Amino acid sequence: MSQLGNRAAWADDEEFDDPSALPAQEVIANKDGTKTVISYRFNEDGKKVKLTRRIKTTVVREHVNPQVAERRSWAKFGLEKGHVAGPSFDTTSVGENIVFRPSVNWKAQAKEAEKEGGEKGSMKDQLKDKKVKCRICSGEHFTARCPFKDTMAPVEEPTEGGGGDMDDEKAAGGLGAGSSSYVPPHMRKGGAGGGEKMGGRFEKDDLATLRVTNVSELAEEQEVRDLFERFGRVTRVFLARDRETQRAKGFAFISYADRGDAAHACEKMDGFGYRHLILRVEFAKRTTT
Partner 1 sequence: MRPILLSGHERSLNQIKFNRDGDLLFSVAKDKIVCAWWSANGERLGTYNGHQGAIWTVDVSPNTVLLATGSADNTVRLWNIKTGECVKVWEFPTAVKRVAFSPDGSKLLAVTEKRMGFLGTIAVLDIAYGDGQGGNLNEQADEPSLRITCTESKATVAGWSFLAKYIIAGHEDGSVSQYDPKTGEQLETMQAHEFDHQINDLQFSPDRTYFITASKDKSAKLMSARNLAILKTYTADTPLNTATVTPKKDFAILGGGQAAMDVTTTSARQGKFEARFYHRIFEDEIGRVRGHFGPLNTIDVHPAGTAYASGGEDGYVRVHHFDKPYFDFMYEVEREQLRK
Is 64 a binding residue for partner 1 by CB under 8 A? The answer is yes
CB of 101 to partner 1, least distance (A): 4
Strands 234-241 and 273-274 come out as unpaired
Q: Which of positions 79-108 make contact with partner 1 (CB under 8 A)?
A: 79-81, 85-88, 90-98, 100-104, 106-107
Q: How far apart are CA 159 and CA 157, in angstroms?
A: 5
Smaller CB distance to partner 1: residue 11 or 85? 85
Is 76 a binding residue for partner 1 by CB under 8 A? The answer is yes
Is 78 a binding residue for partner 1 by CB under 8 A? The answer is yes
Q: How far apart are CA 184 and CA 188, in angstroms?
A: 7
CB of 242 to partner 1, least distance (A): 18
Is 44 a binding residue for partner 1 by CB under 8 A? The answer is no
Give residue 55's Cα distance to chain centre: 22
Smaller CB distance to partner 1: residue 92 or 289? 92
DSSP 134-189: -TTT--SS-GGG-TTTTTSPPPPPSSSSS-HHHHHHHHHHSS--SSSPP--GGGSS
Smaller CB distance to partner 1: residue 102 or 273? 102
User: 28 pairs with which residues across the strands?
Assistant: 36
Q: Are 254 and 263 in contact (CB under 8 A)?
A: no
Is 74 a binding residue for partner 1 by CB under 8 A? The answer is yes
Residues that bind partner 1 (CB under 8 A): 64-65, 67-68, 71-72, 74, 76-81, 85-88, 90-98, 100-104, 106-107, 110
